[in-house]
Copies of this chain bind each other. A is one copy, B any other.
C-alpha cells in the first residue's frame, strides 16, 4: 500500500513537472548542420517532437527519449490538417510538457508557424520561436548566388508561388516590375506562368536559376533566361527554389554555361 501511494505521488509530481510549453524550431534547408545551436538545445530538452516532411530526420537523434510524431505530407497524402496539427501541439503539451515543433527552413516563411503560436496562446501555453535558416536566402547562396550584391541588387523579394487555393500568387506581377532579386518558393509547377508575367514586362532576357534539393548531396542547379528556363528546368525535381535577377549571372553555374555557349560558337 505504501509502495502504491509512493508511485502515485511520483506520478502526480511528474504531471506537475510537465508544465506545458511549445518551441517552434526552424530546422533549416535540409543539411543537418544548418540548424542553430539553440534549435539543437530545444530538441534535446523536448518531451515531444512534431516534425514535417522537409525536416532532416537525423535531427531526431538528438532527442532519443522524446516522443516523435510525423505530421507532414507523404506521397501527396496529408496525415493531419493544419487545424489538427494546431490542436495536437496543444494536447501533447498538456500531456507531456515541452513540445518542439520542428519545421523545414524558418517557421515564419510560409511555414504556418504563427497559426500554431496563436492557437497555443489561446490556451495560455507559453511559446518560443527559434529562427531557422530560410531556404529563400540559403538555397541561392549554396548554389553560388548572393540575393544581394553591391551595384547589382539592393533588395530581394520572397514570394510563395502557389496560394492556398492552388492559384498563382498575383503579387508576382509587382515583383516582376521591381529591380529586386525575386525568390519564389513552392513555384516550380507554376514556372511557365511566372515566365509569362516577366515576358509581359519585357524581361525575356532576365537570368533565372532553379535549385532543387538545396543544401543536400543531391542538390541540382539549372540556369537560363526567362525565355529558356521552362525548357531547361523541365525535368528538375521538386521542391525547387526559383531565383530571378542579374545576381544569377554572378554564379559559377551561369559562367560555366556562358563558357559552354562560347565553345559552341566555334
**A134 in the interface (beta carbon within 8 A):** yes
> Residue A114 at the B interface, CB < 8 A?
yes
Question: Are the C-beta atoms of A178 and B169 separated by less than 8 Å?
Answer: no
Note all chain B residues with C-beta closer than 8 A to A155.
Answer: 157-160, 169, 171, 175
Contacts of A154 in B (CB 8 A): 110, 159-160, 163, 169, 171
CB of A137 closer than 8 Å to a CB of B: yes
Within 8 A of B (CB), among A122-175: 129-134, 137-138, 140-142, 146-150, 154-160, 163-164, 169, 171, 174-175
Partner of A174, one of B38, B148, B174: B174
- Please, which residues of chain B bring their CB within 8 A of the CB of A34? 36-38, 130-131
Taking A112-B150, A137-B108 as contacts, is the C-beta distance between A28 and B33 under 8 angstroms?
Answer: no
Q: Whole-angstrom distance between the alpha carbons of A179 and B149 in the complex?
A: 25
The answer for the CA separation of A159 and B156 in the assembled complex, in Å, is: 7
Beta-carbon contact of A146 and B178 below 8 Å = no
The answer to whether residues A106 and B178 also contact, given A35-B37, A37-B33 and a CB cut-off of 8 A, is: no
Q: Chain copies in the assembly?
A: 2
A157-B157 in contact (CB<8A): yes
How would residues 224 to 255 of chain A score, 1 for a CB under 8 Å from any chain B CB and 0 otherwise?
00000000000000000000000000100000
Asked if A138 and B147 make an inter-chain contact with CB atoms under 8 angstroms apart, the answer reads: no
Q: Hey, which chain B residues are within 8 Å of A159, CB to CB? A: 154-155, 180
Are A148 and B109 interface neighbours, CB within 8 A? Answer: yes
Chain B residues within an 8 Å CB radius of A118: 250
Q: Among B29, B140, B149, which residue has its beta carbon within 8 angstroms of that of A115?
A: B149
Determine if A8 is an interface residue (Cβ-Cβ < 8 Å): no
Query: Does A63 lie at the interface of the complex (its beta carbon under 8 Å from any beta carbon of B)?
Result: no
A250 touches B38 (CB 8 A): no
Whether A104 sits at the interface, judged by CB under 8 Å, is no
Choose one: B146, B156, B177, B250; the contact of A158 (CB below 8 Å): B156
CB of A65 within 8 Å of the partner chain: no
Q: Which residues of A contact B (CB under 8 A)?
A: 28-29, 31-38, 40-41, 106-115, 117-118, 129-134, 137-138, 140-142, 146-150, 154-160, 163-164, 169, 171, 174-175, 177-180, 250
